[in-house]
Amino acid sequence: QVHLVESGGGVVQPGKSLRLSCAPSGFSFSNYAMHWARQAPGKGLEWVAVISYDGTIKYYSDSVKGRFTISRDNSKNTLYLQMISLRAEDTALYYCARDPSFSISNELDYWGQGTLVTVSS
């Protein structure tokens, strides 16, 4: 069955960088668009970014645009989120999620369990 496992989270100082990874299994990764979303402690869901199946189309939320980069390596079956200039308000549980379309439908049909990013000095 579909399984998504995020990794790379941790405690990082403000202004520093971090790269998250997502390892999918149970489906043909290269045929699906993928998303990152996040959830600050005790708060609601916030969408972060999406990438098309081939990596040619990417969209970002206004809150991360210019600081975060979504990418994928279909040969390694891995989704990434490169985060720079991290701020305290980026502290959250970061989820990767599958889009049921190869282009982008913006539905998120399967989610990982998340990796926690804490930005603190």
Partner 1 sequence: DIQMTQSPSSLSASVGDRVTITCRASENIGRYLNWYQQKPGKAPQLLIYVASSLQSGVPSRFSGSGSGTDFTLTINYLLPEDFATYYCQQSHSTLVTFGGGTKVEIK
> Could you list the residues that contact partner 1 (CB under 8 A)?
35, 44-47, 50, 59, 61-62, 95, 104-114
- To partner 1, the closest distance from the beta carbon of 28 in angstroms equals 18
Nearer to partner 1, 17 or 28 (CB): 28
When the beta carbons of 14 and 45 are compared against partner 1, the nearer one is 45
Quick one: residue 106, left, alpha or beta (phi over 0 = left, psi -120 to 50 = alpha)?
left
Q: Between 108 and 117, name the residue whose CB sits nearer to partner 1.
A: 108
Smallest Cα–Cα separation from 36: which of 59, 62, 17, 55? 59
| Min separation Cβ 17 and partner 1, Å | 24
Q: Work out whether strand 68-73 and strand 45-51 pair parallel, antiparallel, or are unpaired.
A: unpaired
Instruction: Please state whether beta strands 45-51 and 18-25 pair in parallel, antiparallel, or not at all (unpaired).
Output: unpaired
Instruction: Measure the CA–CA gap between 36 and 4, rounded to whole angstroms.
Output: 12
Quick one: 13 or 44, whose CB is closer to partner 1? 44
Q: Which of 36, 33, 2 is nearest to 19 (CA)?
A: 36
Question: Least distance (Å) from partner 1 to the CB of residue 33?
Answer: 12
Q: How far is the CB of 21 from partner 1 (least distance, A)?
A: 17
